[in-house]
Amino acid sequence: MKLQNHLVAASFFLFVAVLFFGLSGNLEAQSDWKKLWEMTVEAAKKEGEVVIYGPHNPNYRPVWSLFQKSFPEIKFSYVPGRGAEHAERTLAERRAGKYIADIVMGGSSTYASYSPETLESIRTLLVLPEVIDESAWWEQKLSFSDPQNKYVLMITGEVGTRRGSYNTKLVNPQEIQSWRDLLKPKWKGKLGCFDPRVSGGGGETFAFFYHTPALGPDFIKRLLTETDMILTRDLVQGTDWLAKGKILFYIGSAQPIMRAKEQGLPVDLLPHPVKEGEIMGGGSCCIAYLNRAPHPNAAKVFINWVLSREGQTAWQKHLETNSLRTDIPKSDLPPVLVPINGVRYFMLNSSQYNSPAMIKTVRSFVNEVLEERKKQR
């Protein structure tokens, strides 16, 4: 009995010791990140500014205003422009020995113009536990667009915008449950697409076709040759064709479609994903940190803030696009823009599919098919 009592007592004290040291370790870890964060914020205030090169988009303004309200001592300098322009500007500045921007933002293809030596790992800048906790992000991981998986962080995952659109008076969208449904004779001469060989909205969908095993190059060839699909390089023309009934289904940029819908025209995005899966990505999805940044602490503060629940909630609300944070409400998004459990998502912005070489491969194949179609007519 005495031995049993001693064992019970020993077990109790061991439990208390483990609990004490465990709590002590957690408190120490919590104290460590808080101290680091406070030091970073204080250093950022002394730097007094963060400089970001990013896209033209007025919807960013309320997000930046919220950051400025949270950190009034840090001047927020935002330079809008096209991704290629920013890349050229940054490289020209650096050749001249000038280091002006801290952060670049934009579409994933933008960063192909930056060598890895120009960028620095974003992972090393993350301080806030809620940002570092990868279980709070899509697929329980931080998603990157660069092959090294550390430089170009994806914060947005658009869905629903590349399913195609239809004339709401002439088409029952339930007729289209698979992309292969468009090969049926009833659609011949009634399909349109923004030319997938140029940037603007068609190429991303054709990349999905090309890399999806259930579709592949054979589907692309049949879609372009058997359906008499008509192409445009005018971002508005396809929407006009669709609204007037010249075509019944259109593959192209979602923005003109949504504007036309708001104006009362009979067009809309396909309301459901098809069985081959869904595209996730596109748009101004990504953020990267430049090495030799002139305001490293201010940049660290901004990056942690914009990736936080507060930052991503504002980002999702004002840009009206799905944040890859999964621990924030999605109720402010239209249902068509919210990812659906059980759907296979093709990560368009991953380096596997979005490298210049892969984009060239898809465009070259499409061009070969179209040239062959031209000869047959």
165-280+356-376 and 12-156+283-335 share a CATH fold: yes
Kindly state the tokens that stand for 293: 């940044």
Cβ atoms of residues 208 and 279 within 8 Å: yes
The domain locations on the chain are 12-156+283-335, 165-280+356-376
CA distance 352 to 269: 27
Instruction: Note the pLDDT of residue 26.
Output: 47
CATH tag, 165-280+356-376: 3.40.190.10
Instruction: Note the pLDDT of residue 7.
Output: 47
Kindly state the tokens that stand for 99: 């280091």
* Beta-carbon contacts of residue 142 (< 8 Å; ≥ 6 apart): 123, 134, 153
CA distance 251 to 196: 9
Which secondary-structure segment (H or E) carries 250? Answer: strand 249-251
CA distance 105 to 118: 14
Superfamily of domain 12-156+283-335: Periplasmic binding protein-like II (3.40.190.10)
Instruction: Note the pLDDT of residue 16.
Output: 43
Its pTM stands at: 0.83
The amino acid sitting at 94 is R
CA distance 171 to 126: 48
- Tens-digit pLDDT profile for the chain (377 aa)? 544 555 445 554 544 444 444 444 444 445 699 999 999 999 999 999 999 999 998 889 999 999 999 999 999 999 999 888 999 999 999 999 999 999 999 988 778 778 778 999 999 999 999 999 999 999 999 999 998 999 999 999 989 888 999 999 999 999 999 999 999 999 999 999 999 998 767 888 999 999 999 999 999 999 999 999 999 999 899 999 999 999 999 999 888 999 999 999 999 999 999 999 999 987 788 999 999 999 999 999 999 999 999 999 999 999 989 999 999 999 999 888 899 988 999 999 988 888 888 889 999 999 999 999 988 87
Main-chain phi, psi angles of 176, to 5 degrees: -110, 95
Instruction: Note the pLDDT of residue 355.
Output: 82
